[in-house]
Amino acid sequence: MHRSAALIVALACAFASLPARAETAVIIAPPAAEAPASGNLETAVIAGGCFWGIQAVYQHVKGVTNAVSGYAGGAPTDANYSAVSAGSTGHAEAVKVTFDPKQVSYGKILQIFFSIAHDPTQLNRQGPDSGPQYRSEIFPQSEAQAKTAQDYIAQIETTKVFKKPIVTKTGTMKAAFFPAEAYHQDYATRHPNQPYIVINDAPKVENLKKTFPQVWREAPVLVAQAAQGN
């Protein structure tokens, strides 16, 4: 992916010669049972490849008040891009989604995760990015979230909508989340013409608009805006 500024430029040159990848959404039914919603804002922490694309998708979901790129699953001393890119820290590139359950449910967050945001059958990789830091994982923030996620994966498996088994992990409870460096935040919005974004992430956002129009918001909620509001 993007190990340094120089590598970003190199990747941009490499991807510029490739045709845009035809991303297709896998439409999955919502969870049969929802986690009980509180009356307050809730958080979901999810990982599924490069955090640029995951963040971009949820920034366009109604009811999401913030989506922050970062790291989860490892120690605070390793929560930086240089260390995580080595693939041996235990961290995954993750996104912390803060949402209003009165507007969008945790179940809908997960439905989008499995339908739009990534391919849950890819083990320790996603698209062009490989390594355990790009694994598919849900980091439950409560026992209710853990049960909802586990039950939902079992539900999806019974439908055989995916040809391969789902490899998404759900066992890391309340893992500490560490925001990524500032240059990673709002990356897809700030660099819409970068080939990596055009090929890998823009199609996901477009699929969200087409597949889930009821939760689509045209203007993304940005980390920079959320910080100004605090």
Phi, psi of 30 (to 5 degrees): -70, 165
Active site annotation includes 50: yes
Q: Which of 50, 146, 198, 223 is catalytic?
A: 50
- Is 185 within 8 Å of 223 (Cβ atoms)? yes
Q: Is 127 left (phi over 0), alpha (psi -120 to 50) or beta?
A: left
Classify 116 as helix, strand or coil. Answer: helix
Tokens of 61: 């979901």
* Distance in angstroms (rounded) separating the CA atoms of residues 190 and 90: 29
Integer Cα distance of 126 and 95 in angstroms: 15
C-alpha separations of 92 from 135, 155, 162, 174 in Å:
7, 25, 23, 14
The residues annotated with a catalytic role in the active site are 50
